[in-house]
Structure formats: C-alpha cells, structure tokens
Amino acid sequence: MTPAGPRDLATKVETIAHRYPDRRSLTLPALRFAQEEHGWLPPEALEEVAEVLDLTPAYCQAVARACDIRVPPNYPVVGADAFRTATGVHAAAIIKAFKKQDIELANTVYSGVPSQYFGLEQIIDIGPMSGKSNVLYWLEKRGIPCTEELVEAIYKRAKQSDRTLTEADVLDVVASVQPPEKLGTESH
C-alpha cells in the first residue's frame, strides 16, 4: 500500500468539506481517510492531516486519542512519550532551564524539536533512573509540599521499581507519608 500524501488527502477532504461547518469539524473524517490509506495512523499521517486542515499535530492527536485511534507512545511529536523523560541527567538539565525561565532551552536541551512549537510541554516523570530533582520538580509542579521524608520515600520507591512510576504510584507514597490534613484536603 502506497501512502497517499497530503495532496490526495486534501482532495478527499475537499470533496466532503461542504458538509462541515469548519475545518476542525473535518478532523475525524480526515483521520479516518489517513488511517484507511496507511492501515493505521503513523505520525506522518497525523502531520498530513494537520497540514491539510491547517491545525496543529497536537490537536489532531487529541481528536485521535478521544476517538481511540491509537498512536504508539514513542512516536515523535504526537506520541504520549514524545516530550517525556524520567532520566535524572536529562530531567536535571530541563529543570535547571525551567528554573531560569528559559523555556526555549528547556525544550531543546533534551528534545530535537521544541515542544512549545506544538502547544505541548516537557514532562518530567519519576522512575528507577531518576534523581531527587525529578521528585522535587514533580511535587512542586503539582503544589504538593516537599519534605525531606517525602522526597526520600518517593525516591526509594522509584529506585525499587522496574518502570516509571504512575501518578497514582507517587500519590500513594504521598498519602502514606503526609496525611490528608497536611496536604490541605479533607478526608471523607
């Protein structure tokens, strides 16, 4: 199967455009055309749809995700992991740039393509390769008060894990170290 490319996709989209009130409304049919052509939805197809509709790839990805059109997480720009790191050295460099309020540096120190070009941002996770700066940043980003005990508990949990911790994993550790009263939430 040969990919159709933006011109063929554009032709298909234009033949049905009169049925829709605006270009954004064409996103789902355009994604369907691209998926039919490729047999799945590779990042190139998302980019084609975005180009044809004059939308961002992030918008097209959001529509695809909402409609359960799957894109592998490791795909550039539109994959869930495109601008994500849990590695201590990478995260530390990004965090230092953020603290200097240098968004451009934060987005280029680790990624080949700046996330802000697509309306996205760098994501710092916590995993077995993380440093304590990952933990501190993660907590600060969510407004959770950092204590040495909490940081150490999350760091220890990450080092014992064989994968990146989920948000629920980290919040479980937070709840076990800091009772709800300390977090400013009520228990019911």
- State pLDDT tens for residues 2-58: 444 556 888 988 988 888 888 888 898 899 888 878 777 888 888 899 999 999 988
Name the amino acid, one letter, at 125: D
> Which helix (H) or strand (E) is 123 found in, with range?
strand 123-124
For position 3, what pLDDT does the model report? 47
Rounded CA separation 135/154 (Å): 7
Rounded CA separation 60/75 (Å): 14
Residue 26 is encoded by which pair of tokens?
């064409």
**165 alpha-carbon distance from chain centroid:** 15
Rounded CA separation 75/69 (Å): 14
Average pLDDT over residues 75-103: 86
For position 150, what pLDDT does the model report? 96
- Structural domains of the chain in order of their starting residue, each with its CATH number: 5-66 (1.10.10), 84-183 (no CATH)
Rounded CA separation 53/70 (Å): 20
